[in-house]
Amino acid sequence: MNDSNRRLAAIMFTDIVGYSALAQKNETVSLEILEDHRKLLRTIFGQFGGIEIKTTGDGFLAEFASALQAVRCAIDIQKAVTDHNTDLERDRQFEIRIGIHVGDIVHEDSDVLGDGVNIASRIEPLAEPGGICLTEQVYDHVHNKVEVHIARLGRKHLKNIDLPMEVYRVVLPWEKRDPTVSQIVQALGGHQNKRAKGAKVFAGTVAGVGVAFLVFLLLNNTSPPQKVAVGVEGRTVNKINASEATAPAIRSIAVLPFSNNSPDATDEFFADGITEELISVISKIEGIRVPARTSAFAFKGKNVEPGIIGRKLAVDSILTGSVRRDGEMLKITAELLNVDDVFPVWRETFEDKLTGIFNIQEEIARKIAGSLEEEISGDFEMPQIHPPTAKIEAYKCYLKGRQSWRSRTEEGFNEALACFQKAISEDPQYAQAYSGLADTYHLMNRYGFLADDVANEQVRAYAQRALELDGSLAEVHATLGTIMEAEWQWERAEKSYRSSIELDPNYAQARHWYAILLSKLGRTDEAFDQMRQALTLDPLSPVINRSFAMLYTQTHRFEEALEQYRIAAELTPNPKGDSHYLGIAYADVGQYEKALEMLDIQEQVSGRNFRLMADRAHFYARMGNTEKARDLLGRIREDPESGKSLAWIGMLLVRLGDIDKGFETLEKAYEAHDFGLTYMKVFPVLDKVRSDPRYADLVRRIGLEPEPRPAG
């Protein structure tokens, strides 16, 4: 096979349900149906850029440039088939199954070959009649971009495929959903998972009683919820137990921001803090996916239907609630909802003194864990919950510090430092407060408010102190990993990231940073895997979406990078603030005028700076306008910030063809321990010098292993 014909693509397989039996029964009608089917699908393929590779008897093999195009095409196909069948006699109707996978394919003559084709053909039969099945690779690309729910079917063993694969199905809006035996059992008061044997016996009874009667019971189970008041260690707990008739199997839960119902509006930090604590605790329950704070808080203050939130975050349940602090008294209401029917799984109100906040958090977490425990097979172990501090004033200072830290401004960072220091003065053993200091100094450096050497020293000291007090803080291990990475201590950085992920597999930021490290090490497949997992955990994070786009760029998948940068921009509060990144993406696909336009927009938002001038010079160099590029290079060198970014200047010189001067500047960057050099193995601008001995020597001294690549 010629590797020049190899590329990544979305592959779709279709198949008419029961066609062989139909052909045997009435050949004439079957051929007419086949022709109607082909005309219908071919029309729709073209609307989404689909390329028909070949017909497969009663089906099609088609190729698409992106997973999103393929899935949208599949949805339109199934809608068109449904509409087509509406006015036809039953013997003239047909249904199709569709399977979609993203993978490597190789064009050979008029056919396509490869694992991508094989896998797509294997998952198509898993679809229900009139349904669509997707692999995990497709799901990762589309789950937050389509207005339909996508349900997980679990890991499936596919013929001639070595490892089981995660498979998903698209839940189409017009599907008819009959109640399952499990739902019917629950409607009549049974618990299938706890009384498996009894449920099986009852299932046998179902057939004798008659499905219609049981469906009536299921759909008309209108027993009012019970309200009880019980005393729990001096606290009042008002509990509403929702009917379990429609209780789903919970595998994922989004904890949305609890609203602040306190008389003092400034107590909002307290409600946000409680939300974050619950995200942290629930995410530690094995087998449950919990979207990260960034994605959950994207819905703060917005009136969005639970079903839409469920689709955006790919979850099947939502925890909502409110917090009211009145003097020294605290009242928290929490409700767990099923996103499909907005039916409450449970709802409770907790009241206590302010000092009982950690007890209330634990009760809520245990209540949720109890709900999940009923649905999880195998041994279940509730994660250990330890109050982070015994001093409520220290806790309040910590929550205020985190609120200021998230502003990402110099003023906010300074306020955060003061709050965390005050928390430590209240409780010198408060590990999370030291973690807060480490995180603040880390971001002050990333945002240019603090020099590398000063920031790194503070980060290391406070992170190590936090781990001395509590070695289980996943976020601290991840923060230490960034310091090790900046110091080119690659093995220690990887160890820190892996420790963080082991402690909290749902910590999206650790997987995000680990993916970036893996890409720098040249371990591309692992990098994509970690980045996909990070994006699954935090799908609405503009930063993680942007980093995913960078991975595409680094692997020369420029069209996919542009699409991913567009998604990141849509998720950014001020989309114009991402114009800089879009400019780079447009340049990579050869749209230089559009790229320059994006830089103009970015300058309107953030003003002209060193980085924007450098990117503009790169664009001019790629356009062949070396005069403008060199003029900008001269102005860049006069900029006081240029000494901090010698790596970028060296790469620009390489772009301009000044290879010797480029390496001289990169050598100066090495002496200055310039962070930009950590990207040497992955930035496409250096492709033309991969075979230069000076490149290999420099990469080795940084601690990386050079892997020469052909010029792209």
pLDDT digits (tens, 9 = 90+) for 297-312: 888 888 888 888 888 8
- Tokens in use for 487? 């110091």
pLDDT digits (tens, 9 = 90+) for 515-534: 999 999 999 989 999 999 99
Domain check: are 12 and 151 in the same one? yes
232 pLDDT above the threshold of 80: no
288 pLDDT above the threshold of 50: yes
From residue 339, alpha-carbon distances to 300, 308, 325, 344 in Å are: 17, 8, 29, 9
Provide the residue range defining the domain that includes 8. Answer: 3-171
Domain check: are 198 and 304 in the same one? no
Domain check: are 103 and 189 in the same one? no
Orientation angle between helical segments 508-520 and 542-554, nearest 10 degrees: 20
pLDDT for the residue numbered 371: 59
Judge whether 408 lies within some domain: no
- Tokens in use for 98? 């569709």
Domain check: are 340 and 371 in the same one? yes
pLDDT digits (tens, 9 = 90+) for 668-681: 999 988 888 999 99
Domain check: are 188 and 82 in the same one? no
228 pLDDT above the threshold of 50: no
3-state secondary structure of 93: coil
Stretch (H or E) spanning 102: strand 96-108
pLDDT digits (tens, 9 = 90+) for 46-68: 888 888 888 888 889 898 888 99
Widest Cα–Cα separation across the chain: 87
Return contacts of 517-521, CB within 8 angstroms, 24+ apart.
Answer: 517/481, 517/485, 517/490, 517/493, 519/550, 519/551, 519/554, 519/682, 520/485, 520/678, 520/679, 520/681, 520/682, 520/704, 521/490, 521/494, 521/681, 521/704
Phi-psi region of 82 (alpha: psi -120 to 50; beta: other; left: phi over 0): alpha
Judge whether 510 lies within some domain: no
pLDDT digits (tens, 9 = 90+) for 69-111: 999 999 999 999 998 988 888 888 999 999 999 887 777 766 6
Q: How far apart are CA 619 and CA 287, in angstroms?
A: 47
Q: Based on the structure, what is the number of domains in the chain?
A: 4
Domain boundary among 387, 415, 449: 387
Q: In the predicted model, what is the mean pLDDT of the chain?
A: 80
Domain check: are 22 and 162 in the same one? yes
Domain check: are 160 and 13 in the same one? yes
CATH label of the domain that carries residue 335: 3.40.50.10070
pLDDT for the residue numbered 17: 87
pLDDT digits (tens, 9 = 90+) for 637-654: 887 666 667 898 999 999
Q: How far apart are CA 292 and CA 277, in angstroms?
A: 12
From the list 238, 219, 218, 216, the residue with the least C-alpha distance to 229 is 238
The answer to whether 515 and 545 have CB atoms below 8 angstroms apart is no
Domain check: are 139 and 237 in the same one? no
Kindly report the backbone phi and psi dihedral angles of residue 405, in degrees, each rounded to the nearest multiple of 5, phi listed first.
-60, -35
The CA dihedral of 230, 232, 238, 244, to the nearest 10 degrees, is -80
Judge whether 581 lies within some domain: no
Residue type, 344: P
> Pairing relation of β-strands 343-353 and 235-241?
antiparallel
246 pLDDT above the threshold of 70: no
Least confident of 121-130, 195-204, 282-291: 195-204
From residue 76, alpha-carbon distances to 100, 149, 690 in Å are: 14, 15, 46
Domain check: are 255 and 382 in the same one? yes
The CA dihedral of 413, 415, 418, 421, to the nearest 10 degrees, is -50
Domain check: are 160 and 292 in the same one? no
The answer to whether 238 and 227 have CB atoms below 8 angstroms apart is yes
pLDDT for the residue numbered 4: 52
Domain check: are 149 and 195 in the same one? no
